[in-house]
Structure 1
Amino acid sequence: MPIANEPLPPVGHAMAGSAGAMFALACVYPLDIIKTRIQVQAKHEGIKSTEAQYDSALDGIKQILKAEGITGLYAGLPSSLIGTASTNFAYFYAYSFLRTAYNKRYNPQAGTLSTAMELLLGAAAGALTTLVTTPVSVITTRQQTLPANERQTVVETTRTILEEEGIAGLWKGVKPSLVLCVNPAITYASFEKLKEYTLKSMQIKALTPLLAFYVGALSKTLATVVTYPYIMAKVRLQWKAPKEMEGKIQAYTGSFDVLSRVLKTEGFFGWYKGMSTQISKAVLSQALLFMMKDIFTRYTIMVFALVRSLKVKQA
């Protein structure tokens, strides 16, 4: 059997997905910082804050470079890489495992799955992933949004959250995060369907890295537009006000509280504040992920094939 056709177990898909996701995040991380800070910029009646306000991604990059230097654009990168690796490893593993199990039991001919089933499997994998990885998301959000003089290491941030908010503090925003499981579900279901259409219409057997980039970009744009208000709500729930604003603003109690207060103070378009930066970051990241996952998958297959051949020789 040619190496390219070697079957890859769920852990192999997870490894390839994680590697691709980490590469993508490293490429677009400054945009990740900007979109997170824009998402937590809120109007508070009668309260003035000295926090920087960004009008756009470019404006945010300029202000951060001026105030914090180049390192400011990569604040919280280590925890974000850990989060991305763990999230994508868990997601790709769960998705591949569930898809394989479903095909084995209900779809033995390995035919094309319906859009509804793709969405269901994606949402189930996303829910399992969210329950495991939300603490890393909370820690990353804190590191990205706190002023430079209040920023702590991953361990110190974790300790502070546990001391001030208890164990529940590490799972802030888990409810909207579970709702947002439809985001990767929409993304991957759209990707599979667009991929199928592209292969059929172009009469090719596999997507090139560039085609994978375009199909991934289109898939992620659709998912981001649909789910953005909840993305913003999740980030605000995980955000912590800087010391200068402690005691002056009322903490959010849930995603509906976030959405209603934003609607009251900033109007309907407040729900979509920072969406252009989010889409730019998400689309580039997801497109790079899909493109690099195929490349990393090939190398992962080669590694697994080599390991299997070594085991056979030893036996």
Structure 2
Amino acid sequence: MPIVSKETLPPFGHAVAGSFGAMFALTLVYPLDIIKTRIQVQAKHDGVDDKEQEHYNSALDGIKQIMGKEGVAGLYAGLGSSLLGTASTNFTYFYCYSLVRDFYNKNYNPGGGTSSAAMELLLGAIAGAMTTLVTTPIAVLTTRQQTLPSNERQGIFGTATTILAEEGVAGLWKGIRPSLILCVNPAITYGSFEKMKQFVLETMKWNMTPGVNFIVGAISKTLATIVTYPYIMAKVRLQWKPSKELQDKVEPYKGAGDVLARVLKQDGFFGWYKGMSTQISKAVLSQALLFMMKDLFTNYTVIAYALLLQIARRKLAA
């Protein structure tokens, strides 16, 4: 069998492993994902009675309310588009990150030395920007499906068709500017993960077991979420669309700056961090699970890739 290792696995292989790991993680924590999205779009609007809007006091309260109104299925509204988004986002990110990193190592780091923290952040940001341009439409579809009332909710293609008809092509890229700024989020996550991983391996002399991967992944994602949360909230509100009942009563947001200014005026500084505990719980669990499962999925991908190479070589030899 051809010799294949994690180091020689091509970018496509790392992208596949990352995508499967991310989809597995998202499926486990999806109820938290839908709760954090709905909390993020909760706002005080002039002319709108508080009773007309859903309001969750906590993640547990949100789960109870959704279960009461929509049943268990309500906790998984938009799961299909979310899985599609997660798969495409992680596939694109890991693919781009591997390409960018390989390019950097071949041209600027031929000796294979350790990259600086700043370079790790830059490489992650470049890969994140490339990913965002491709995957923002799916994020918009997911947000709409997660936040619209069940009687207005459509499937993936129905939601996309409605957005194109009402808002044009630009509607699929709502929130693109804060999304590009948020490219620093995975950059912080993966950059800090690599540095902590290096510390664990070289200083602590520990092996990167699934448990250690989980802890290091959790810490790195928490750090990234705290730093970028106001823009995460702003992006979600820009991609959100009020229900038909509230459309005429809610003034549309003009941009991320408008979102942050209005939230600051209505709820104060801490309004920028509304729902952050749920966001961190969801983000940390999914990211830690991703780092843990990606390593396992990478092992399986290496085996599959080696088998495919073996089959291809036998066909060429025949």
Percent of aligned pairs sharing the same letter: 68
Q: Distance in 1 between matches of 2:38 and 2:6?
A: 44
Q: Say if 1:6 and 1:305, in contact at 8 Å, map to a contact too.
A: no
RMSD after superposition: 1.1
Per the alignment, in what secondary structure is the counterpart of residue 248 of structure 2? coil
Does the 8 Å CA contact 1:141/1:238 hold for their aligned counterparts? yes
**3-state DSSP of counterpart to 2:262:** helix
Instruction: Report whether the alignment pairs 1:120 with 2:145.
Output: no
Is 1:6–1:301's contact at 8 Å kept on the other side of the alignment? Answer: no
Between the aligned partners of 2:6 and 2:162, the Cα distance in structure 1 is 49
SS state at 1:243 partner? coil
TM-score, normalised relative to structure 2: 0.97
Output one character per residue of 1:105-152: Cα deviation in whole Å (capped at 9) or x when no partner. Answer: 111111111111111110000000000000000000000000111111
d(CA) in 2 for partners of 1:273, 1:48: 20
Size of the aligned set, in residue pairs, is 314
Paired residues for 1:53-92 under 5 Å: 53-92=55-94
Change (3 A) 1:105 1:267: same
Structure 1 CA distance for aligned equivalents of residues 7 and 121 of structure 2: 27
> Counterpart in 2 of 1:111?
113
Q: How many angstroms does 1:295 deviate by? A: 0.2
1:192-218 CA deviation, whole Å, 9 max, x = no partner?
A: 0000001113324x4100100000000
The structural deviation recorded for 1:247 is: 1.5
Query: Does 132-141 or 37-46 show the bigger shift?
Result: 37-46
Letter in 2 for 1:296: F
The one-letter code of the counterpart of 2:270 is: F
Do the aligned partners of 2:84 and 2:138 also contact (CA within 8 Å) in 1? yes
Letter paired with 1:86: S
Q: Shift in Å at residue 269 of structure 1? A: 0.6
Which residue does 1:303 correspond to in 2?
Answer: 304
Q: Which residue of structure 2 lines up, in the alignment, with residue 215 of structure 1?
A: 216
Deviation (angstroms), 1:268: 0.6
Distance 2:170 2:4 in 1: 46
For the structure 1 residues 5 and 151, does the alpha-carbon distance in structure 2 shift closer, same or farther, using more than 3 Å as the test? closer
SS at structure 1 position matched to 2:53 = coil
Q: Distance in 1 between matches of 2:310 and 2:172?
A: 43
Moved more, 25-34 or 49-58: 49-58
Aligned to 1:170: 172
Q: 1:247-288 CA deviation, whole Å, 9 max, x = no partner?
A: 112100100000000001111111000000000000000000
Q: Distance in 1 between matches of 2:308 and 2:169?
A: 41
Alpha-carbon separation, structure 2, partners of 1:288 and 1:230: 24
Q: Distance in 2 between matches of 1:6 and 1:173?
A: 36
Q: Does the CA contact (< 8 Å) of 2:82 and 2:138 recur in 1?
A: yes
Take 2:271 and 2:125, find their aligned partners in 1: how far apart are those partners? Answer: 27
Runs of at least 5 residues in structure 2 that lack an aligned partner in the other structure: none
Q: Alpha-carbon deviation of 1:5?
A: 5.5
CA distance in 1, matches of 2:139, 2:6: 36
CA contact (8 A) 2:46 2:250 kept: no
Match of 2:251 in 1: 250
Change (3 A) 1:6 1:172: closer
The yes-or-no answer on 1:134 pairing with 2:136 is yes
Deviation at 1:3, TM superposition (A): 4.7
Distance 1:262 1:308 in 2: 55
Contact 2:47–2:249 at 8 Å: present in 1 too?
A: no
The TM-score, its normalising length taken from structure 1, stands at 0.98
Whole-Å separation in 1 of the counterparts to 2:62 and 2:234: 21
Amino acid aligned to 1:142: R
1:17 alignment partner in structure 2 = 18
Shift of 1:89: 0.2
Letter in 2 for 1:178: L
Q: How does 1:260-299 map to 2 (within 5 A)?
A: 260-299=261-300
Read off the aligned partner of 1:272 and give its amino acid letter.
Answer: Y
Rounded to whole Å, the distance in 1 between the matches of 2:142 and 2:6 is 38
1:6 Cα deviation (Å)? 6.0
Give the drift of 1:313.
2.3
User: How many angstroms does 1:47 deviate by?
Assistant: 1.6
Counterpart code for 1:210 = G
Kindly state the Cα deviation for residue 189 of structure 1 after the two structures are TM-superposed.
0.2
- CA deviations on 1:143-162 (whole Å, 9 max, x unpaired) are 00001111111111001000
User: Which residue identity lines up with residue 18 of structure 2 in the other structure?
Assistant: G
Displacement of 1:46 after TM fit? 3.4
The answer to which of 158-167 and 3-12 deviates more is 3-12
Whether contact under 8 Å (2:214, 2:289) holds in the other structure is yes
